[in-house]
Amino acid sequence: MSAISPSAVPSFRGRIGRDARSGYYAAARRYRLHLSVSCPQSLRIAVTHSLLGLGDGLPVTLLPAVPDGPDGGHRLLRPLYEASSHQYPGPAAAPVLHDTWTGRIVSTHTPDILRDLVRQFGAGDPDLLPHGAEEAIGGVDRLCEEMGRAAQRAGLPGTDQEARDAALATLLEGLEALERRLALQDHMAGDELTLADVHVWATLLQLDTVHRHHLDAAAVHRITGHPRLWAYARGLAAHPAFGSHLDLDGIARRHHARCRGEEAAGAAVQIVDWAAYARRTAPEPVRQPG
């Protein structure tokens, strides 16, 4: 059987508009989020959803930490994908924003979902995407994506040492840039909490709970050398909207299910005691019967 070309897999990039002329428009309990908070993308959406207090008007289904479908997706989401795209060929992955009125997927694109939560569902308090801060938030988003890729390359098994050193240097430069921001202001895009802070926090959590396990101890000690940044991460973890979504066991199980690389000495050097902040107040994950 030939492999499916990525370009042949349909993408879901619908947006929520302001009124009925937009097709998809904000209405209480019309939509449902399907999230697996062991996944960094879903975690960002879950934290944003909690910060905005959207629990009553926009329900959430929590999925298992480790996808249970044979193709790496979630079996629970397969009917939604197939209702949205006939004989959908890719994995039924989270996150998903789903329109319960039509039974179709609106979006699986995390940045669009986050912006629509803030702009269309949020009441403006807190304003996580303030006008005038879009460029700064976008810059932090790009930096986080670059850091995530660099952290993965820095610990990738089979990669030559020169490439790993270059990736580590990129990661450390990103951490230093974030450290400098906190020397001037309380948060990443100013003195108030925004979507940029949610992205940075999820990135730091992933760095400490996943990528650290494949780095040597010297690299991890260099990563810890950003005291403002890690104090900031601990401060956000203490916020109920962040800490309540910490599923450390789920992150570990997801990581071990997807990664076959060996642990390095850095695995023993924990940066943040995330367990001290974990408060699992959300409902238990919905699992498929059988």
Shared domain for 115 and 201, answered yes or no, is no
C-alpha–C-alpha distance, residues 235 and 179, integer Å? 15
- Structure tokens given for 45: 């959406």
Average pLDDT, the chain: 90
Domain range enclosing 166: 134-276
C-alpha–C-alpha distance, residues 126 and 241, integer Å? 12
Residue 129: is its pLDDT beyond 70?
Answer: yes
Tens-place pLDDT, residues 238-283: 999 999 999 999 999 999 888 766 777 778 889 999 999 986 444 4
pTM given for the model: 0.92
288 domain-assigned: no
Per-residue pLDDT band for 8 (boundaries 50, 70, 90) equals low
| Contact criterion met (CB below 8 Å) for 36 and 64 | yes
Residue 34: is its pLDDT beyond 50?
Answer: yes
Q: What value does the mean pLDDT take over residues 202-225?
A: 96
Residue 49: is its pLDDT beyond 80?
Answer: yes
Shared domain for 147 and 271, answered yes or no, is yes
H/E element holding 119?
Answer: none
Q: What value does the mean pLDDT take over residues 77-100?
A: 95
Shared domain for 148 and 261, answered yes or no, is yes
C-alpha–C-alpha distance, residues 282 and 65, integer Å? 14
pLDDT at position 41, please?
98
Residue 287: is its pLDDT beyond 80?
Answer: no
The gap between the terminal CA atoms of the chain, to the nearest Å, is 29
Q: What value does the mean pLDDT take over residues 205-211?
A: 97
Amino acid at 99: D
Residue 20: is its pLDDT beyond 80?
Answer: no
> Of 121, 143, 166, which residue constitutes the final position of a domain?
121
pLDDT at position 118, please?
97
Shared domain for 200 and 257, answered yes or no, is yes
pLDDT at position 264, please?
76
Tens-place pLDDT, residues 149-159: 999 999 888 78
180 CB-near residues (< 8 Å, 6+ apart)? none
pLDDT at position 267, please?
80
> Of 86, 121, 156, which residue constitutes the final position of a domain?
121
Q: What value does the mean pLDDT take over residues 19-27?
A: 81
Residue 7: is its pLDDT beyond 70?
Answer: no
CATH number at residue 167: 1.20.1050.10
CA angle 234, 237, 239 (to 5 degrees): 120
Shared domain for 160 and 216, answered yes or no, is yes
pLDDT at position 175, please?
98
Residue 18: is its pLDDT beyond 80?
Answer: no
- Structure tokens given for 232: 């900031």
Question: In the chain, how many domains are there?
Answer: 2
1 domain-assigned: no
